[in-house]
Amino acid sequence: MKPIQFVDPDGVLDRDAVDNGGIPVDGDLARRLYRDMVLGRRLDQEAYSLQRQGELALWLMSLGQEAAQAGSINAIRGTDYVFPSYRDHVAGLARGISTQELLRQWRGATHGAWDPESHNFHIYSLVLATQLLHAVGYAMGVRLDGSDTVVLTYFGDGATSQGDASEAFNLAAVTRSPVVFFCQNNGWAISTPTEAQFSGPLVDRAAGFGLDAVSVDGNDAIAVFVETQRAVERVRSGGAPAFIEAHTFRMAGHSTSDDPLKYRSVGIVDHWASQDPVDRMRKLLHREEWADEAYFIALAGEAEALAAETRDACFNIAEPDLGDVFRATLTTETPLLQLERQRFEQFKGSFL
């Protein structure tokens, strides 16, 4: 099945496909998606530089996957709940999570950098596919509460090979939980290509579990937005849980500890560079005359201001208090933990 596409790499909009989608596509939407993509990419680039300078211990780039994240996160309500993976910085930034919160975990200052309930956006999950089970459990809960909240969870193609993913798909389908599984199929599970991971399309596997599955061009933010919104509304109205396979490409390495040139060719990267999601949206804005040069100049300035904010935020991340290890082990600090913490603090104080 050919992935659904509304805007081609040259920025040409298929108006018939858009009209058949039944969801209005206009300049306001395109500019919003483009802004989220540009700001997310600038944050990503700055964080990468900070890691190379030794200011972050690790960083997992979202370079090349901006359309998949911007299109999907804008297609849900603010009250809908998100369970991300670990490279969903574009989605997190769009949800109002600060640059410092997005960096704190990667500087080693915390295990969970923001309050999930403040943004309806859970903390990052570094264990592959674990967030899928969390998402299904949460979705079962909101259904029991009588809420019309829909849960969206992000993951990569590699995560689908984990047993947790199969369990989550099956449990969601059996319980008809209001969850949308959003797979960013970026071509690689670290150094393992998709053809070495599975023999058939992921949408076919998802349909086998009883999920409402669709395949979309993950570098086309408009197509991602339309298809995600359609899937979310079907789920919200009581339909089967949904699965969206967004075909995209991880332009950088799996993480800053990874050298992708060891396992993939320059030619493959060059091909996907010609499909760049940010360039595609910029071309669309020009073709449809939905943005003038003043808009692009202003956005470029906003992106550079965000980069400066990101640097300052990183340098001002407070060092963690190791005493919190004792306070946070259990919901309430027990007398034994309190005693251990006091002894630790006395020991630490002896070095001052």
As annotated, the active-site residues are 250, 254, 263
Measured between alpha carbons, how far is 228 from 74 in angstroms, rounded to an integer?
Answer: 9
Task: Name the nearest CA neighbour of 123 among 159, 161, 93, 82.
Answer: 82
Measured between alpha carbons, how far is 152 from 84 in angstroms, rounded to an integer?
Answer: 8
Residue 193 parent element (H or E): strand 192-193
Q: What is the largest CA-CA distance in the chain?
A: 73
Residue 242 parent element (H or E): strand 242-247
Helices (H), the chain: 15-21, 27-52, 66-73, 89-94, 99-104, 116-119, 130-144, 163-175, 202-208, 221-236, 266-273, 277-287, 293-315, 324-327, 335-349
Measured between alpha carbons, how far is 100 from 118 in angstroms, rounded to an integer?
Answer: 15
Cβ–Cβ under 8 Å, residues 313 and 106? no
Is 284 exposed, middle or buried, given 0-12, 13-18 or 19+ CB atoms closer than 10 A? buried
Tokens of 87: 């490279």
Measured between alpha carbons, how far is 148 from 178 in angstroms, rounded to an integer?
Answer: 8
Amino acid at 128: L
Cβ–Cβ under 8 Å, residues 53 and 124? no
Task: Name the nearest CA neighbour of 218 among 24, 26, 62.
Answer: 62
